[in-house]
Amino acid sequence: MTTIDPSRWLRAFATLIDEHTEELTALDAAIGDADHGSNMQRGAAAVVAALDDDPQPTPGAVLKQAGMVLIRSVGGASGPLYGTFFLRSAAAAGTGELDGPAFAAAFRAGLDGVVARGKAESGDKTMFDALAPAATALDAELAAGAALPEALDAALVAATAGRDATIPLIARKGRASYLGERSVGHQDPGATSATLLVRAAREALR
């Protein structure tokens, strides 16, 4: 049975964030306050430190720790939003292995947490616009009988398309919304980091 190792997921996410810190900051410089790269890097480094210093026994506990660390260590909108994503996915994951259906359910629960916290809808030019298509693709692929690796490939394609589709949008949530029409023509930073989160999952298969 193929599963996702949540510790490897979080570590792979942290590595990708490190590799893309400058890009995330540049995107946020265009429509925000130029801190999304440093926010995410600080949070991801704190998550990795917690994994090293205080290893957790179950998938749910690993994800819950990450959520609490992110909320504690990241100022800005993205800390509480990603933190809530992981706290909600933790609650859905519980103690069991994250096979395809369990991972999809945890991811969906995380997305629902982002919505509960930030009230974003489709097309608001936020991380939702990458996370939601990924969740839909995961569910659809698994329902059609795909294995988890293939479902994750489809989820990454969907997240990437959702991320790219933020470029022409007017931001309606968060700091970028203060710019109104001037937010048009720029890719959303949070949708970009969220696409890295989906990409990281493919590196956590075992």
Can you give the binding site for Mg ion, defined by CB under 5 A? 28, 32-33, 35-36
85 is in the binding site of which of Mg ion, ligand ADP, none (Cβ under 5 to 8 A by kind)?
none
| Single residue of 120, 134, 137, 165 touching ligand ADP by CB under 6 A | 120
Site map (CB under 6 A) of ligand ADP, residues 48-67, x = contact: --------------------
What does the alpha-carbon distance between residue 160 and residue 166 come to, in Å, rounded to a whole number? 10
Stretch that binds ligand ADP, among 53-61, 62-70, 156-164, 171-179 (CB under 6 A): 171-179
Site map (CB under 6 A) of ligand ADP, residues 24-43, x = contact: ----x---xx-xx--x----
Rounded least distance, CB 36 to Mg ion, Å:
5
What does the alpha-carbon distance between residue 133 and residue 82 come to, in Å, rounded to a whole number? 17
Q: Are 111 and 132 in contact (CB under 8 A)?
A: yes
Rounded least distance, CB 77 to Mg ion, Å:
7
What does the alpha-carbon distance between residue 178 and residue 180 come to, in Å, rounded to a whole number? 6
> Which DSSP state fits 17?
H
Sign of CA dihedral 5, 62, 37, 184: positive
| Single residue of 59, 83, 110, 189 touching ligand ADP by CB under 6 A | 189
Chain residues in the site for ligand ADP (CB under 6 A): 28, 32-33, 35-36, 39, 76-78, 81, 114, 118-120, 126-128, 173-175, 188-191
